[in-house]
Structure 1
Amino acid sequence: MKAIFYIGHHKVGSTSLQKFFSENSHALLKSGILYPAVESHGLAHMTRNALAGKDTQTDLPINLREPHNALAFRMLSQLEGVTVPPYHKELPATPQMKFALRNQIAELEPHTVILCSEVMSNFGVLAPDMIDQLMRMFDTSDLDLYCTLRRPDDYLASWHGQRLKFNHKMRPLRGAATANYFEGIHFDYEKMLRPWVEKCPHATLHIRSYSDVVASGGSVEDFVAQVPVTFPKKLKTTASANPSIPRALMEFARIGNHNLSPEDAHFLRQFLIRAGSSMDIPPNGEVELFGAENRALMMDAFAPIHAYLSQITGKDAFFADIADMANVRPVSEREANEQGLRQILMALQHITIPDNIRAFFETFEFSDEYQLPETHI
């Protein structure tokens, strides 16, 4: 039996990949590929599909769509100070999840098992022994590890936006917040990957650059093309599943997270995602969030990490465009925000939104400091 583990990273199309596997789980299983459930709802859904003889649902609940994130969070919750996020509800204990995995493998006898979890990217730093636990669950020497990595400046900008969506209260990337990431897995990809590589010495590695993944058509297309498994034809396709706040509007979400109630801040973030898709604002790649000094710091700090990535993948340069990380984007964050605010104020003349959100925009003032203290790095 072959096991394939997608181990990250975040913000590289993992949600679309999980949606693809979950919404095609019955078709995949009929061809011998198991995307296993980890709790009773997922097992009941598999039974429903088996009775119907087809995949019966799209837009599945998160425990069904992202079962292996649920598994990874439950495993990590054994650590002091780590809890399962509230959106993964009613999960069984870790041993029951492990039994569910083993029993599905024993009874269904798949030739391939796929686990897909960006949360597992935390194992190497927080608890490397959890990699060993995972290996013991599957008892196979035929293992592939798949991981997609974005160039750090592009990734940190997207991760910053993802954290804003979860109502984190942060400093802006143009300040000290950038350097605060340097010691963690969201910048130090070697720290994330090395424990997996060392604990799985016989695994086939698929370490992919996000730009190559995009060029191949997306996360689903690249995964299917890279791993040595024949997938059935005519599977359901998926669209982008994790919309982001445009970078030209992120500062409004950041300040809103500080100054608004959780309910109003949530409404604001959803408004920015929806409105941003139709606004005439600079595209993400043209907005400068870091500044020249932080870009220089990133180049220096990432050099040894990039050397490691290049070495384990056998490439002269893992990120072929790594030098571009030093280049300041053409539109300043302040300029992009001002463009966005002008258009939002015009739109407010024609739409109905909560009074607190309207007042937030109508009284918004830019300052030289242009930042608020953060409560989370």
Structure 2
Amino acid sequence: MRLILHIGTHKTGTTALQHFLSANRKRLNDSGICYASPAHEFDINSIANALLIDGQAKFRQFILENLRKAERNGATTIIASSENFYAMVRYLTRFKAEKTSAEALAKERSLIERLRAAIPTEVECHILCYVRRPDHYLESLYNQNVKKVALLTSDIGDFLHMIDDMLDYHLYLSIWRDVFGSSACSVRAYEAALPNLIDDFVRHVLNIEDISSFTRPNLRANERLSRDVLEYMRLRKQHIRYSERKLERGIFALVDKRITSPNNNHEYLSPDDRAALLSKLEPSMERLRTEFNLPLFPSFNLEAARAFWHPYPGLSLEKKREIDFHYDAVQRQVGFRLERLLIRAASLARRRLPFLSWPLDFARASGIRRLLLEAASRFQ
């Protein structure tokens, strides 16, 4: 049995790829491939997250269950995908766990070793990671984590300081290579896979040439918000409850569609800051290209960038008032009001009546909450 473990990175089309693999489970099975994920989930992010909590137990149980399932179905390959496996010590603790790179990397190695020990020795492992030019990865990751309302209020400079070692792909991927072996690890360039990462994965990783019969989910995953709405979110983070972050993302997604003349300037780094970052990372990128047979990242022309760069002017008072107006209108919709009420009622019940935790978790998993919210949305 062969296991393909897709470990990210974030912001390289992973969510779209996971939805595609999930939607094509039957067709993949016909090709001897089992796409593995927990029930009602399209990736194994929850399994990756559990490594920080209970070590390898949940991951081992997941692997063994899917080995049995694959064998019953006559499959010879299992695919599992979670972008949270890349730099998990940093990412899963919201970039605030270990204070030094040495501490973070030591814990990262320990987690990867536990993961490897959880996989039966007879399983042939293949670790796959997509990477993109580090400055673009930084900006996209920053955008995503402000949008996710994950209590991130820092600017791009502070964020870079928090995740500095995550941009050193060689540093992290060499740990996977050490634990699983050089022949078991491969790295692909996100830019080289464009315009369609899914085609690249199916053809070059799964070795399936004809993908015309595969379902293409109508999905644009993790779309960016306009710069003004994103800045508005960042500035009002202290007023957003952590338990309501997903609700707020839904509200702001609708607000973004309503505002006029949105600013889509997502160049957070100045040309000189970008050049300095790429220069600093060049030795690591060269090692990555050499040791993992990776093509060159797109080049950066400093003079051309200086000529065309326009810094973001900041959130104007007029634009803030417009966003305030639309935010107030959207969050008053019946569906959002009901969802906020359910979230706060559940939080209160968990604190005062702990025995209700199980029924609440069951209601969420069974889809009752989702059906109730969909019914409410019809009245909006």
TM-score, normalised to structure 2, is 0.69
- 1:358: which partner in 2? none
Q: What do residues 115-174 of structure 1 show as CA deviations (whole Å, max 9, x unaligned)?
A: 111111136943424444544525457543321112222212221122223323334434
**2:52 is the alignment partner of 1:76:** yes
Task: Output the CA distance in 1 between the equivalents of 2:141 and 2:46.
Answer: 20
Q: For residues 229 and 321 of structure 1, do their structure 2 counterparts lie closer, same or farther at Cα, with a shift above 3 Å needed?
A: same
Q: What amino acid is aligned across from residue 207 of structure 1 in structure 2?
A: V
Q: For residues 263 and 143 of structure 1, do their structure 2 counterparts lie closer, same or farther at Cα, with a shift above 3 Å needed?
A: closer
Structure 2 alignment gaps of length 5 or more: 90-104, 334-380
Q: What amino acid is aligned across from residue 72 of structure 1 in structure 2?
A: A
Alignment check: 8 A CA contact 2:168 2:285 kept = no
Q: For residue 9 of structure 1, give the secondary structure of its aligned residue in structure 2.
A: coil
Alignment check: 8 A CA contact 1:7 1:116 kept = yes
Q: For residue 331 of structure 1, give the secondary structure of its aligned residue in structure 2.
A: coil
Superposition deviation, residue 9 in structure 1: 0.3
- 1:14: which partner in 2? 14
Superposition deviation, residue 254 in structure 1: 0.6
Q: What RMSD over aligned residues (CA atoms) do the two structures have, in Å?
A: 3.6
Superposition deviation, residue 110 in structure 1: 1.3
Task: Output the CA distance in 2 between the equivalents of 1:340 and 1:331.
Answer: 20
Which of the pair is proportionally richer in helix? 2
Q: For residue 194 of structure 2, give the secondary structure of its aligned residue in structure 1.
A: helix
Superposition deviation, residue 25 in structure 1: 1.1
Q: Please, which of 180, 183, 200 is the counterpart of residue 162 of structure 2?
A: 180
Superposition deviation, residue 36 in structure 1: 2.2
Structure 1 alignment gaps of length 5 or more: 43-60, 80-91, 356-377
- 1:152: which partner in 2? 134
Aligned residues: 312
**2:30 is the alignment partner of 1:65:** no
In the TM superposition, 1:1-377 aligns within 5 A as 1-38=1-38, 42=39, 61=40, 64-66=41-43, 68-78=44-54, 93-122=58-87, 125=105, 126-135=107-116, 137-139=119-121, 142-183=124-165, 185=166, 187-203=167-183, 205-215=185-195, 217=196, 219-230=197-208, 233-238=212-217, 239-261=219-241, 269-277=249-257, 279-283=260-264, 286-291=265-270, 294-314=273-293, 318-323=296-301, 327=305, 330-335=309-314, 337-338=315-316, 341=319, 344=322, 348=326, 353-354=331-332
Q: For residues 258 and 227 of structure 1, do their structure 2 counterparts lie closer, same or farther at Cα, with a shift above 3 Å needed?
A: same
Task: Output the CA distance in 2 between the equivalents of 1:123 and 1:257.
Answer: 24
Q: For residues 325 and 269 of structure 1, do their structure 2 counterparts lie closer, same or farther at Cα, with a shift above 3 Å needed?
A: farther
Q: Percent identity?
A: 20
Alignment check: 8 A CA contact 1:9 1:147 kept = yes
Task: Output the CA distance in 2 between the equivalents of 1:129 and 1:265.
Answer: 31
TM-score, normalised to structure 1, is 0.69
Superposition deviation, residue 195 in structure 1: 1.0
Task: Output the CA distance in 2 between the equivalents of 1:72 and 1:350.
Answer: 37
Q: For residues 14 and 313 of structure 1, do their structure 2 counterparts lie closer, same or farther at Cα, with a shift above 3 Å needed?
A: same
Alignment check: 8 A CA contact 1:295 1:326 kept = no
Alignment check: 8 A CA contact 2:22 2:35 kept = yes
Alignment check: 8 A CA contact 2:153 2:235 kept = no
